[in-house]
Structure 1
Amino acid sequence: MKHPIDEHAEIATGSKPLGRRRIIKLGAVAAATLMIPGVAAAGDWIRVDEVPLTSQVPGRMSIMRARTRAHYQQARYVPRRSYGGEVRSLKINNVHTGETLNTVYYENGDYVPGALNEVNYFFRDFRANLIKPIDPRLLDLLHTIHHSSDTTKPFNLVSGYRSPQTNAWLATQTEGVARHSMHIEGKAADINLPGRQLSLLQRIALAMRYGGVGYYPQAGFVHVDTGRVRRWG
């Protein structure tokens, strides 16, 4: 199935037809980036020296605002589904393609299929032009981190879905690429947030204890995923 914006995009096994309700503001940087496979390669690798996340992160609560402590404690487990009037949204820029996603992906007690399709396309492997369904729990993770950051500015997405082919290529370009990263499964995102320090995003993600958290200040992003609880960097 072809996406109406990119007729050459291919869908990885298990994906569904794509919608176009709220997605995609294409920037001028997209064409140039797609033509240069090595652009921002440093933002697409994951260290393999992962270590289990300890039950407590020394000093983390002392730097959080008192009024939000309860929120961080409650955010330890991200809700998969709730009922009532809750609305979850995601606002994010793709640093490689210049695209912007601003969508409500959860409302009326359930995930919105069309919005999830939009997310799948936005998070695609832009090098291989492949699409894979993104874990909705990753969206909940990002939504909670953004809400806890107390800002209206959108995330920057450095790396989303990464095909096995792209992952293998990156392994030849950069040391430390995981042979099977959570990016390949559509369960990871490398992000930063304008106006907020990476260390803040790291602390929020660690406090949630919902998956992996990697800290890459030199590369300019924090890695989060919905795998087992662990930390590195």
Structure 2
Amino acid sequence: MHRRIFCITSLTTAVFAKPASISAAMLPLPGPLNARRLQLRHAASGATFSGIYHNGLRADPGALAELSEVLADTRTGETRSFDVAALDIAWEMGRRQRMAELIVLSGYRTVATNREVNGAVNSQHLRAAALDLQIPKARFGSFGEEAIELGRGGVGLYPTHGFIHLDSGPVRHWTDNGEPTPTAPMARRPPPRTAAEQRIDRIAEAWANSRQR
């Protein structure tokens, strides 16, 4: 009898315990709806990635290693741990645009490759923090506008070659001729860019031309 009373009392205490007493370690991890999934294909190497790279709280080291391989320098095969913030921007844009697969033209670049394509010395590709994505013509305008409105990192629009540059560097945007895009709100227009920064505008175009040699 005493044991039954004790059990009932213990159960009652557990049921009516204050929520504040629950340890944070006992809280469940984010479910599938919080996970971030990417499907990438590198146009130059043919390497692919398809899967979850982030569970909503932290990036998965194994998935990041695979993504770094897919986004390796295509001339040398050299890899560098790819910037999660840049991947998040690509994921967000793919989600907003409902694109099942993102086609990558350029990811990480070594110094030698960057020099070969006439890249800037401070290119975001050098720190594995930039992606040049091939965008279908019908989707190019909406993708570019939404990427600029997102307000995260750099956005370069290259409609002549059909790709858009995304990076996790300073917030800025430009077109083929290096001018701020007319669709961008005036309040978001960046200050005048230096000559070195303007060279970034030609990186993706030079890269595309080098692939045609």
Partner residue of 2:114? 167
Aligned pairs (5 A) from 1:181-200: 181-194=123-136, 196-200=138-142
Query: Which secondary structure does the structure 2 equivalent of 1:128 belong to?
Result: coil
SS in 1 for 2:73: coil
Deviations 1:40-99 (A, max 9, x none): xxxxxxxxxxxxxxxxxxxxxxxxxxxxxxxxxxxxxxxxxxx62210011111100112
Higher helix share: 2
Cα distance in 2 between the residues matched to 1:166 and 1:104: 29
Structure 2 counterpart of 1:199, one-letter code: G
Partner of 1:107: 55
Letter in structure 1 aligned against 2:110: S
Cα offset for 1:116? 0.4
Q: Which moved more, 1:185-194 or 1:141-150?
A: 185-194
Q: Deviations over 1:158-177 (max 9, x none)?
A: 00001111111222xxxxx3
What secondary structure, in the 3-state scheme, does the structure 1 residue paired with 2:125 have? coil
Greater relative CO (CA pairs within 8 A, separation 6+): 1
Give the aligned partner of residue 146 of structure 1: 94
Instruction: Output aligned runs, 1:41-120, within 5 Å.
Output: 84-85=30-31, 86-107=34-55, 109-120=57-68
Residue 212 (str. 1) matches residue 159 (str. 2): no
Partner of 2:168: 226
Q: 1:88-124: per-residue Cα shift (whole Å, max 9, x none)?
A: 0111111001122112101162211100000110100
Which digits, 9 at most, give the CA deviation of each residue in 1:26-46, with x for residues without a partner? xxxxxxxxxxxxxxxxxxxxx
1:135 to 83, 87, 91: 83
Q: Partners of 2:124 and 2:163 in 1: how far apart?
A: 16
Which whole-Å CA distance do the structure 1 matches of 2:125 and 2:111 have between them?
9
- List alignment gaps of at least 5 residues for structure 1: 1-82, 172-176
TM-score w.r.t. length of structure 2: 0.64
Query: For 2:116 and 2:96, how far apart are their aligned partners in 1?
Result: 35
Task: Please say if residues 155 and 194 of structure 1, whose CA atoms lie closer than 8 Å, have aligned partners that are also in contact.
Answer: no
How many pairs were matched up?
145
Gaps of 5+ in 2: 1-28, 176-213
- The DSSP-based 3-state class of the residue aligned with 1:204 is helix
Question: Is contact 1:192-1:198 (8 Å) kept?
Answer: no
Residue number in structure 1 paired with 2:187: none
Write out per-residue CA displacement over residues 187-209 of structure 1, whole angstroms, 9 at most, x where no aligned residue.
Answer: 10000244752222211110110
Q: Partner residue of 1:124? A: 72
Q: TM-score under structure 1 normalisation?
A: 0.59
Aligned equivalents of 1:178 and 1:231: distance in 2? 16
The percentage of aligned residue pairs carrying the same residue is: 30
